[in-house]
Structure 1
Amino acid sequence: MTRGLPEKPLRDGRRPRIALALSSGLVLAACTATQGDLGRPRPTVWSQLIAPESGFLSAAARGEQASYFRLTDDEEQLRDRAWRFVMPGHERSVFQGEVSNLAHTRILPVSAQSTDVSDYFRALTSMSFASQASRYNRLAEDVNADRLLIGPFRANAMRVVSMDRVRMRTVEASPDVAAGKQEPALARVIENEGLVFWVCERLDFRIRSYRYALTNLVVEMPSREAVRAERAIMALEAEALPLCQMPLNDAFGEGKRPVVYKG
């Protein structure tokens, strides 16, 4: 069962209309963005200015928590590192990649992403390989690439969680914090905590997708290379566990850990 973010009343009744216009009118701009390292869009007017503002308005229009605070260096890096895990596992999933891109910017809700574990297998088998071993090798390489990036993401997340703890203690204890800063401060903590939840959800989806691909490869093209791929998936599971069990700030309340990130 999924849990959405606490609803935030809109202060400006025009925001839903503005967000809808931006969301529909700028989709094509997202789809034409050039790609940088790890598949992330290179810095452009779209990625640096238009997408963040459009995403903020769209999230607010859906009743999600949205903070206007500037991102800290660690918060910005956390979002960059999350990119790998929230995108489809295979570059040939072009449409799903664009959907995930728009979810990453918050223009679309994460519920728009595919939950079909067969997506990766279909993309993998649509490629031309010299032998069945090449398909198993590609599977193992994708799994290992995910595993190697989890540690840096977790370290980044721990720094953000620690600073959020300081942020909220200051909000609660200092009379110098303006009343108008308290709500966006909590919204930012929810956004950060929710991002970790979202990455964990998509990691779980990737693992299930990799297992689906491995099982069906074995059925179609049995190979001794399957052992290497299976070990890689097991190692990925072991690496993901500490991340998804790390203590957070309970921003959602009552110890609840929502399955879907919407912030």
Structure 2
Amino acid sequence: MSQVVAPQIGFWSATFRGEAASHFRMTDDEEQLRDRAWRFIMPGHEKSMFQGRVSDLAHSRILPVQAQSSAKSDYFNALTSGSYASQVSRYARLAEDANADRLLIGPFRANAMRVVSADKVRMRTAESSPDVAPSQIDPAYARVVENEGLILWVCERVGFRIDSYRHALANLVVEMPSREAIRAERAIMALEAEAGPLCKMPLIGVFGGGAQGSQGDGDKAPVVYKG
């Protein structure tokens, strides 16, 4: 689907579902945040083609986030599908995926921190400047909700990936024990350590009460599913 058409359809779909949706143009950091989020929102293995399509549509907000699979066995099933010469390649792929995720979390977190800082300035200005029209308040707050919701969504999906990797490793060890399991386990542990600061970074708090920008529509449903 066109990168021009999909965001428009996503905007109207999200609005129809009662989610916060802003018509404001995105900043460079906001665009980059969404591009970086795509990696973590998509399934961990490219062979999960159907779930990949669903996740892509959720990323563009055409489908709700709840449409994504929450089955941690998906990655293991994709990892072990098809034929392969040695079990070593399965362990190697698992370690490579975990390491690739780990290396991308830092840049995403730095990007997210810039967006959160800008959103704080956005809401302070929207609430205090007499030059800002009242009609600008709601879309400003909606954009803050979108941004923070995306960060929380990525944090949730990173946690889901870690659970999926651990599920895959345990089942690989049961089915095909190998010394390569040690390398895969270390990669997962390193990913988990890197994910910690991301999920603990300070946010504005629009989903947890005490949020800045309280003049916005607090009844809007989150753009993320937090089970």
Instruction: Check the 8 A contact 1:198/1:259 in 2, yes or no.
Output: no
**1:96-138 superposed Cα distances (whole Å, 9 cap, x missing partner):** 0000000000000000000000000000000332211111000
Structure 2 counterpart of 1:5? none
CA distance in 2, matches of 1:193, 1:128: 42
2:121 aligns with one of 131, 153, 166? 166
Structure 2 partner of 1:60: 15
SS at match of 1:144: helix
What does residue 84 of structure 1 align with?
39
How many correspondences in the alignment? 216
| Residue 253 to residue 228, structure 1, CA distance change in 2 (3 Å) | closer
TM-score by structure 1 length?
0.80
| Conservation of the 8 A alpha-carbon contact between 2:149 and 2:222 | no
1:96 aligns to 2:59 (yes or no): no
- Cα contact 1:85–1:202 (8 A) shared by 2: yes
1:261 equivalent in alignment to 2:215: no
Query: What is the 5 A alignment of 1:32-71?
Result: 46-47=2-3, 49-71=4-26
CA contact (8 A) 1:197 1:260 kept: no
Contact persistence 1:161–1:193 (CA under 8 A): yes
CA contact (8 A) 1:68 1:184 kept: yes
- What residue number does 1:235 align with? 190
Alpha-carbon distance change, 68 to 214 in structure 1, aligned in 2, over 3 angstroms: same
d(CA) in 1 for partners of 2:170, 2:207: 37
Amino acid at match of 1:170: T
Q: TM-score, normalised by structure 2?
A: 0.92
Aligned AA for 1:173? S
Q: CA 1:141–1:223 in 2, change beyond 3 Å: closer, same or farther?
A: same
CA distance in 2, matches of 1:233, 1:259: 29
User: In 2, are the aligned partners of 1:96 and 1:114 still within 8 Å (CA)?
Assistant: yes
Q: Does 1:184 align with 2:147?
A: no
Runs of 4 or more above 3 Å deviation: none
Cα distance in 1 for partners of 2:100, 2:90 equals 15
> Do the aligned partners of 2:145 and 2:223 also contact (CA within 8 Å) in 1?
no
Query: 1:157 and 1:189, CA in 2 relative to 1: closer, same or farther beyond 3 A?
Result: same
> Which residue is equivalent to 1:36?
none
How far apart are the structure 1 equivalents of 2:35 and 2:223? Answer: 19
**Deviation at residue 251 of structure 1 after TM alignment:** 1.8
Contact 2:207 2:222 (8 Å CA) reproduced: no
Does the 8 Å contact 1:201/1:260 carry over to 2? no
In the alignment, the residues of structure 2 paired with residue 77 and residue 174 of structure 1 have an alpha-carbon distance, to the nearest angstrom, of 28
Q: Give the C-alpha shift of residue 229 in structure 1.
A: 0.3
| Cα deviation, residue 255, structure 1 | 5.6
* Equivalent position SS for 1:254: coil
The one-letter code matched in structure 2 to 1:82 is: A
How big is each residue's C-alpha offset from its partner over 1:51-88, in whole Å with a ceiling of 9 and x where there is no partner? 01000000000000100000000000000000000000
Instruction: Give the counterpart letter for 2:16 in structure 1.
Output: A
Q: Is contact 2:150-2:223 (8 Å) kept?
A: no
What is the RMSD of the two structures over their aligned residues, measured on CA atoms?
1.5
**2:145–2:222 contact (8 Å) kept in structure 1:** no
Report the AA paired with residue 98 of structure 1. Answer: R
Structure 1 residue 221: Cα displacement: 0.2
User: Which of the numbers 232, 239, 252 marks the counterpart of 2:207?
Assistant: 252
Q: Distance in 2 between matches of 1:90 and 1:136?
A: 13
Q: Which residue of 2 aligns with 1:34?
A: none
- Unmatched runs of 5 consecutive residues or more in structure 2: 212-220
